[in-house]
Amino acid sequence: MTPAARLAAAIDILDQITAGTPAEQALTGWARHSRFAGSKDRAAVRDHVFDVLRARRSLAALGGAATGRGLVLGLCRRDGIDPATMFTGEGHAPAPLAAEELAAGHPPAPGAEAMDIPDWLWPEFTASLGDRAEAAAQVLQSRAPVHLRVNLAKVSRQEALAALAADGVITQPHPAAETALEVTEGARAIRNAAAYLDGRVELQDAASQAVVEALPLQEGMRVLDYCAGGGGKTLALGARARLALFAHDAAPRRMRDLPARAERAGLKVSLLEGDEVDRKAPYDLVLCDVPCSGSGSWRRAPEGKWLLTPEGLDQLNVTQDQILDRAAGLVAPGGMLAYATCSQLDRENGQRIDAFLARHPGWRCAWRRSWPVEGGTDGFFSAHLTRE
């Protein structure tokens, strides 16, 4: 495919997304019906689509419309590409631009439009981040780095770095966690690298690793990952100490790959459903990586930025409070309740901890920390709660 044909494909996919089709579904459908597209073509089209989704508002302003053509026109203008060289109508290129398309568009207005944040969320975003708000929003407009977690139960970070390099994946240590590597070259080769296939490394953001590294684990502890999802933090917990390790998720299907991943990593994890969580209680440590807006990881999942609503954020806060209240009853005397989000919004972070402490006067916050997106990781928050 030519560069122009790739943009034409992105236009078609973006039109499906703006009509309500989830991005991954639209991309998968296009790939299934475009057998002529090679792996490099599919990767390039995917990159175009996600580059647009990260900056949807500002690109619509630059391109004069929120359609696929308008968004890709805005992308060309933002990136200094002459639209006339892409919108030629030749071969599989997009049709030439009409006079009204050429005349449309304007610089994004300062604030929410230029920063690619919904209008209703911008006051909340700025209240949470203060003078960091614009810098954080600008980071969210760009692609996220690729991080790997070294399984120190199997290999040292330096050994993993060398093994990955042998398979064309070039990495460097990331300062957020002692297990973290940042991929600087060859990211698309990770899934075929021997160190990935045999469980020496896993894909995981460096701040997510840091959340686990901050937990005071000791040999033999009974540890529950209460909102396990795919199990990334479960595996990170098990790699740090010999634990009686349990995983639970409100939607158990999310954990379907966890047993195989745990076996690959050399770990044993007990998956718990329903009231099994209570029967196995109490636990020395309960980690709650709760459902949240994902505002710290919108570089990776930019659709979430545009799908979030005020009502949805309110409901997330309710869910977060309910999870904390439920999990508190599972913690053994002298144990710890750990809370985490990949959010930058104080309503999901510090305010939830303060509200929990107000409801549970016998508890205290022993530690809390945020990891900003400007630090080269996803945005994360974590707090450790103990009984007084």
The reported pLDDT for the residue numbered 81 is 96
- For 345, the token pair is 């919004």
What's the confidence (pLDDT) of residue 226?
A: 97
Query: Tens digits of per-residue pLDDT, 345-387?
Result: 999 999 999 999 999 999 999 999 999 999 999 999 999 999 9
| CATH 3.40.50.150 location in the chain | 207-387
Taking 90 as the threshold, does the pLDDT of residue 36 lie above it? no
* Predicted confidence (pLDDT) at residue 7 exceeds the cutoff of 90: yes
* 72/66 Cα distance (integer angstroms): 9
**Count of Cβ atoms closer than 10 Å to residue 276 Cβ:** 13
Could you tell me the fold of the domain covering 207-387? Rossmann fold (3.40.50)
Place of tokens 């913690």: 331
Residue 49's pLDDT band (cuts 50, 70, 90): very high
Cα–Cα distance for residue pair 190/204, rounded to 1 Å? 12
What kind and span of H or E run contains 24? helix 23-32
DSSP 215: S
Where are the CATH 3.30.70.1170 domain residues in the chain? 146-203
Alpha carbons within 13 A on the beta-carbon side of 229: 9
Note the pLDDT of residue 34.
87
Taking the C-alpha atoms of residue 17 and residue 6, their distance in angstroms, rounded to an integer, is: 17
CA distance 304 to 312: 11
Please give the average per-residue pLDDT across 198-223, as a whole number.
96
Mean pLDDT of 174-203: 95
pLDDT in tens, 252-294: 999 999 999 999 888 999 999 989 999 999 999 999 999 999 9
CA-closest candidate to residue 206, choices 182, 188, 230:
182
Here the tokens at position 123 are: 């006051």
- pLDDT value at 317 more than 90: yes
Higher pLDDT, 37 or 125: 125
| Burial track 153-189 (b if 16+ CB lie within 10 A, e otherwise) | bbbebeebbebbeeeebebebbebbebbbbbeebeee
Mean pLDDT of 35-59: 94
pLDDT of residue 323: 98
The DSSP 8-state label assigned to residue 191 in this structure reads G
Tell me what pLDDT residue 33 has.
87
> What residues pair up with 369 in beta bridges, in sequence order?
382
For position 165, what pLDDT does the model report? 97
- Residue 388 confidence (pLDDT): 78
What does the pLDDT read at residue 252? 94
- Looking at residue 12, what is its pLDDT? 97
pLDDT digits (tens, 9 = 90+) for 114-147: 999 999 999 999 999 999 999 999 999 999 999 9
Q: Is the peptide bond before 282 cis (omega within 30 degrees of 0)?
A: yes
Q: Are 246 and 222 in contact (CB under 8 A)?
A: yes
Q: β-strands 244-248, 331-341: how paired?
A: unpaired
End-to-end CA distance of the chain: give it in Å, rounded: 64
| Positive or negative: CA dihedral 352, 353, 354, 357 | positive
The percent of residues in the chain predicted with pLDDT above 70, rounded, is 100
User: What whole-number distance in Å separates Cα of residue 67 and Cα of residue 320?
Assistant: 36
Domain 146-203 architecture = 2-Layer Sandwich (3.30)
